[in-house]
Structure 1
Amino acid sequence: MAAIPTTTSCYQERIATLQERLKLLLATSEASAGCPDDLELLEQEIQPVYAAIWAMYAEVEDDEG
């Protein structure tokens, strides 16, 4: 069975959006006191962004391999 092709043409826009989200999260963290609760919340917010970037990377790598 042939693999379904992955459409990656929208990734440039999606990655730019994720990068802006990361910049906002980091700016927010720098503005806060950096208490452990703030850092835990930041990690919870960054984790899905990080996962989305790696998912796109994995799809692109699969297409090339």
Structure 2
Amino acid sequence: MSTLPTTTACYQHRIAELQAQIQDLLLTLSDPPCSPAEVRHLDRQMQPLYAAIWAMHAETNA
């Protein structure tokens, strides 16, 4: 059974977008005071962004 090819041409642009979103979230953290609840909220927002970047990275280096 053949497999479908993985299309990675859009990854560079998508990774740049995700990195920009992460940078925006990190800038939010630099505005004191940031409560522990806010840090947890930002962490929950960042985790899927990092996961998406690493998934694309894994596909291109497999």
TM-score strictly above 0.5: yes
Taking only the aligned residue pairs, the percentage that are identical comes to 47
Structure 2 alignment gaps of length 5 or more: none
TM-score, normalised on structure 1?
A: 0.86
2:2 corresponds to = 2
2:58 corresponds to = 58
1:43 corresponds to = 43
Consecutive aligned runs of 4 or more in structure 1 exceeding 3 Å deviation: none
Which structure shows the higher helix fraction? 1
2:23 corresponds to = 23
* Paired residues, number: 62
Structure 1 alignment gaps of length 5 or more: none
Please report how far the alpha carbon of residue 18 of structure 1 lies from its aligned counterpart in structure 2 after TM superposition.
0.6
RMSD: 1.0
